[in-house]
Amino acid sequence: MRPFVKVVKAEDPCSAAYEAISAVLIHDVKGKRVLLKPNTGFEGPAKSGLCTHPEVIRGLIRFFKDQGAAEIITGDSSVIGVNSLQALKSAGIYEVCEQEGVKCIDLNDSAPVEMKIKNGYVVDSILFSSIVFNVDLVVSVPVMKTHMYTGASLGIKNMKGTMYKREKNKLHRLTKSPPPGAQERSLDFGILDLTTVCYPDYVVTDGIIGMEGFGPSGGKPRPYGMIVASSTPVACDMISLQLMGMSLSDVGHIKLIAQREGLTYDRIKVDPVDYKKFCAKFITPLEAKLEIKCDNLEFVDESACSGCHTALLQFMRYHRDKFKEGDRITLFAGKDLDEKEIMSRKDKAFLVGNCTAKYRKLAPFCKGCPPVDSEILKVIKGLGGVIIEYLGHSAFSLKTKDYNILIDPYLTNNPMASDDRQNLKATHICVTHGHYDHVGDAVEIAQQNNSEVYSTHKVAEALLKGTKVVTGDIGGVIKTEFGYAKLVSAIHSSGVCGGIACGFILDVEGVKIYHAGDTALTMDMQLLAQERIDVALLPIGGISTMGPLDAVEAVKLIRPKMVIPMHYNTTIAIRQDPHFFQRAVERETEAEVKVLSPGESFRV
Ligand code: SF4
Ligand SMILES: [Zn+2]
Ligand SMILES: [Zn+2]
């Protein structure tokens, strides 16, 4: 049977979506569970062209209800750094689901499931959100978009959003090359591999307001008023491409899948037959690039993905005026950079995005996956941010332009200490409790530097005499020059009769860092999620604190952006593998884990 595609010129998105899916339905839907997978990778209303139009979702919900579906679920998982439910809400989809009485979910809330890929070109397995495999029918509902890296993002590419949490980056960090002689990129083959295990049953492409130029997030909305649907996903994408004025050779993954299925345009039946009269010319990323220019900024983005492309574009949009004069600078993104090229720019080179972290000794580095334009600016200006240095055990230094805050500075007699206390300068010192491996050299360093010291009452009274100490109790906030220090509970003995142990939330010039002190896993950590912690410093040693498994649970409660393990491997009793912890956290949460050796540091 020839693949069939329905094209509907939409006056009303809801009824157009209903009409389009009615025309292509081939299943008996009665009693079935249906998943609608919109494109809400980024936050934005329908008029922005970023997200699927909520009325298209309404039309599909009504259709599947009328067909007697047992359950209809709408869900997506946004790009890393974007809250999926927030994105569904911003698009208006969440509200429509509430009105229509169906579930609207973050796909990451279902457990992950690993799917093996037999004879994959570039990947052997992919972790997905299991819900995708626990329903009877999956309907991909993408926005019609151009895409900076894949040419276009349509029904098949939209399924990348079913990959579990950070797994999404897997296709952008491929180590295997495409087959010799192939013109398509690794990412195209990655999407091809993905479709062997996760392929939608239907595609309903929302071209009500598409996106052109620097899609999928940095482009311009393109009002188009069209819906395209099919039960043959690749046929739907091929016809959508034609309507956008693009060819199959512009979009590697669609071309590869069409080849795999032996599909050519002449085999596709389209209703109406004269659908080409609706063809529009979407501006491609290549054409759009010419619109924004700044002579003093250069980008080198070897194998960077659309996340970094979008960040660089946003940076150019919002900050290019600041670079009209002065030295020409180069921003490097992506994982396959040429060290010599970075070196040749000397101090005019900047590294952007986590993929460039391995070159950070060569040039200033802006973290993020994807990075944020305002952070890129700070790194270029040499401003802002906090340099977090691990000093060994539970000791850290948090350095800004004006301050150096030490936490639990146990250096003398610490076999893991990276430094000598004589070398340490401190404007402020935090002491979580009275055990020797936390008070450490606090008094001596404070006296040498006239540092302000923060701790709980009894601990200060007994062990921090002769320093400028400011005390508080759990829940208290001490206002400081750098921001504030908030004392939070830690389930642990204090080392001082009648005293209490604490952890600290430090707001250091806007960066929120949580040092847990010594603690067990506790439900109190749930409250820390409201604090929006940037970096959590968590003990994983066991015996006198939580061990790695409990620490993973702690990360789930705290929901920080980044985690650094501490309080391990100082003695045999607390020997642990921090990389085991790292893998577990990155598999089960969205947090990134940095395993630092004593003496290592990075900027947040
Ligand atoms: S750092 Fe940039 S290029 Fe690398 S995976 Fe993240 S967004 Fe993509
Ligand atoms: Zn202790
Ligand atoms: Zn300890």
Tokens of 278: 């609706």
171 lines ligand 1 (CB under 6 A): no
- 262 pLDDT tier (thresholds 50, 70, 90): very high
Tokens of 44: 């934005």
What's the gap in Å between 64 CA and the centre of ligand 1? 38
- Residue 178 pLDDT exceeds 90: no
More confident residue, 214 or 585: 585
Q: Which atom of ligand 1 is nearest to the CA of 308?
A: 2
210 lines ligand 1 (CB under 6 A): no
What's the gap in Å between 145 CA and the centre of ligand 3? 53
308 lines ligand 1 (CB under 6 A): yes
What's the gap in Å between 434 CA and the centre of ligand 2? 7
Helix (H, G, I), strand (E, B) or coil at 200: coil
Q: Which atom of ligand 1 is nearest to the CA of 173?
A: 5
pLDDT tens for 405-463 read 999 999 999 998 877 777 788 999 999 999 999 999 999 999 999 999 999 999 999 99
What's the gap in Å between 426 CA and the centre of ligand 2? 22
Tell me the torsion sign for CA atoms 581, 583, 584, 585. positive
334 lines ligand 1 (CB under 6 A): yes
Tell me the torsion sign for CA atoms 36, 41, 44, 46. negative
Residues 6+ apart with CB under 8 A from 390: 396, 418, 564, 566, 596, 597, 598, 599, 600, 601
What's the gap in Å between 529 CA and the centre of ligand 2? 24
pLDDT tens for 294-319 read 778 888 876 777 678 778 877 887 78
- Residue 127 pLDDT exceeds 90: yes
CATH class of the structural domain 4-285: alpha beta
pLDDT tens for 96-126 read 999 999 999 999 999 899 999 999 999 999 9
Cis peptide before 233 (omega within 30 of 0): no
- Percentage of the chain lying above the pLDDT 70 cut: 97
Of the CATH numbers 3.60.15.10, 3.30.300.30, 3.30.390.30, 1.10.600.10, which one belongs to the domain with range 389-603?
3.60.15.10
Residues 283/218, Cβ–Cβ less than 8 Å: no
pLDDT score of 46: 86
Cα atoms in the 13 Å half-sphere on the side-chain side of 283: 17
Nearest to 5 by CA among 247, 282, 233: 233
pLDDT tens for 2-38 read 999 999 999 999 999 999 999 999 999 999 999 999 9
Nearest to 62 by CA among 33, 97, 28: 97
Ligand nearest to the CA of 459: 2
Helix (H, G, I), strand (E, B) or coil at 307: helix
- Name the residue at shortest CA distance from atom 8 of ligand 1: 305
What's the gap in Å between 228 CA and the centre of ligand 1? 31
Tokens of 69: 């579906």
Angle 494-498-501 from CA coordinates, rounded to 5°: 25
75 lines ligand 1 (CB under 6 A): no
- Name the residue at shortest CA distance from atom 6 of ligand 1: 369
Residues 6+ apart with CB under 8 A from 332: 299, 300, 301, 302, 341, 342, 349, 350, 351, 352, 356, 359, 363
Could you tell me the end-to-end alpha-carbon distance of the chain, in angstroms, rounded to an integer?
A: 56
354 lines ligand 1 (CB under 6 A): yes
- Residue 486 pLDDT exceeds 90: yes
Residues 369/172, Cβ–Cβ less than 8 Å: no
Q: State which H helix or E strand residue 564 sits in.
A: strand 562-566
What's the gap in Å between 81 CA and the centre of ligand 1? 12
- Name the residue at shortest CA distance from atom 2 of ligand 1: 308
Helix (H, G, I), strand (E, B) or coil at 471: strand
Q: Report d(CA 84, CA 77) in Å as an integer.
A: 5
What value does the mean pLDDT take over residues 485-509? 95
Domain ranges across the chain: 4-285, 290-380, 389-603
- Name the residue at shortest CA distance from atom 4 of ligand 1: 355
Q: What are phi and psi of 121, to 5 degrees?
A: -70, -45
What's the gap in Å between 80 CA and the centre of ligand 1? 10
- 384 pLDDT tier (thresholds 50, 70, 90): low
- Name the residue at shortest CA distance from atom 3 of ligand 1: 304
Residues in the 5 Å CB sphere of ion ligand 2: 435, 518
Ligand nearest to the CA of 187: 1
Nearest to 28 by CA among 56, 70, 58, 59: 70
Neighbours of 100 (CB within 10 A): 16
Cα atoms in the 13 Å half-sphere on the side-chain side of 586: 18
C-alpha dihedral, 332 to 336 to 342 to 343, nearest 10°: 160
252 lines ligand 1 (CB under 6 A): no
pTM of the model: 0.61
pLDDT score of 604: 79
What's the gap in Å between 485 CA and the centre of ligand 2? 20
What's the gap in Å between 370 CA and the centre of ligand 1? 5
Residues 6+ apart with CB under 8 A from 290: none
Helix (H, G, I), strand (E, B) or coil at 488: strand
- Residue 165 pLDDT exceeds 90: no
pLDDT tens for 522-540 read 999 999 998 889 999 999 9
What's the gap in Å between 256 CA and the centre of ligand 1? 24
* Range of lowest pLDDT (64-68, 509-513, 570-574): 509-513
Nearest to 460 by CA among 473, 478, 479: 473
Determine the residue type at 294: C
Ligand nearest to the CA of 310: 1
Neighbours of 413 (CB within 10 A): 10
- Beta-strand runs (E) in 364-459: 365-366, 387-392, 395-399, 404-407, 428-430, 452-456
Average pLDDT, the chain: 92
Q: Which atom of ligand 1 is nearest to the CA of 353?
A: 1
Neighbours of 574 (CB within 10 A): 18
Q: Determine the residue of 165, 169, 186, 303 to mutate for testing ligand 1's pocket, defined as the one with the most ligand atoms within 8 A of the Cβ atom.
A: 169
* Range of lowest pLDDT (226-240, 368-382, 501-515, 559-573): 368-382
Q: Which atom of ligand 1 is nearest to the CA of 301?
A: 3
Q: Report d(CA 84, CA 90) in Å as an integer.
A: 10
What value does the mean pLDDT take over residues 323-339? 85
